[in-house]
């Protein structure tokens, strides 16, 4: 459990299903992410799976107990490189209020204090300023720009819609 001024960051529980469905059911959250809108049943399955996993964390408003988004945090291979990847999706009703950067910053601080990472990195679509501004706000540095590194959907004739991405990182001892 990580606590910030306004938030608790904790493991998922099966009872997060309804709050998870509230945003994973919306097409707009997949604009820069793989996946498609979930049903309530799929969100329930995901909440149960994530309750057993270590790589997704629920972000909850302290004031109301509402789950408003989640963080992804996973160690990349090989383990001796001590590199972790961070990601995030927040409910659009709670975006642009500083919650996502508050949560991501607290997780990064927690990780540097407790998990001994050498490097924490993130990749985001160049057309997703919400993501790269968040990373810059919490002290990440843009390391590179990549052309057509991935695609999450196809066009109307079945060709991949390739995305250009930025990669950001924060190092254990700065630069």
Ligand X SMILES: CC(C)(COP(=O)(O)OP(=O)(O)OC[C@H]1O[C@@H](n2cnc3c(N)ncnc32)[C@H](O)[C@@H]1OP(=O)(O)O)[C@@H](O)C(=O)NCCC(=O)NCCS
Binding site for ligand X (CB under 6 A): 29, 32-33, 87-90, 95-101, 124, 128-131, 133-134, 137
**For residues 21 and 37, what is the distance between their CA atoms, to the nearest angstrom?**
9
Beta carbon nearer to ligand X, 21 or 158: 21
In this structure, what token pair is assigned to residue 149?
């590194």
Beta carbon nearer to ligand X, 75 or 105: 105
CB of 95 to ligand X, least distance (A): 4
Rg (CA), the chain: 16
CB of 18 to ligand X, least distance (A): 18
CB of 102 to ligand X, least distance (A): 7
> 53 φ, ψ to 5°?
-105, 165
CB of 113 to ligand X, least distance (A): 21
In order of 2, 18, 120, 174, the CA distances from 111 in angstroms are: 11, 28, 9, 15
Beta carbon nearer to ligand X, 52 or 69: 69
Beta carbon nearer to ligand X, 7 or 100: 100
In order of 30, 59, 86, 148, the CA distances from 70 in angstroms are: 14, 5, 11, 26
């Amino acid at each position: 459990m990580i606590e910030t001024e306004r938030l608790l960051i904790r493991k998922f529980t099966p009872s997060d299903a309804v709050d998870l469905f509230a945003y994973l059911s919306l097409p707009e959250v997949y604009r820069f992410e793989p996946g498609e809108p979930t049903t309530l049943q799929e969100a329930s399955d995901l909440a149960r799976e994530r309750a057993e996993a270590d790589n997704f964390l629920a972000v909850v408003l302290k004031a109301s107990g509402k789950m408003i988004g989640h963080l992804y945090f996973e160690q990349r291979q090989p383990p001796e490189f001590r590199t972790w990847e961070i990601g995030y999706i927040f409910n659009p009703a709670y975006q642009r209020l500083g919650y996502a950067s508050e949560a991501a910053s607290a997780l990064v601080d927690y990780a540097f204090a407790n998990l001994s990472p050498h490097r924490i990195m993130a990749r985001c679509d160049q057309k997703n300023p919400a993501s790269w501004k968040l990373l810059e706000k919490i002290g990440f540095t843009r390391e590179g720009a990549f052309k057509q590194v991935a695609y999450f959907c196809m066009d109307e004739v079945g060709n991949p819609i390739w995305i250009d991405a930025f990669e950001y990182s924060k190092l254990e001892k700065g630069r």
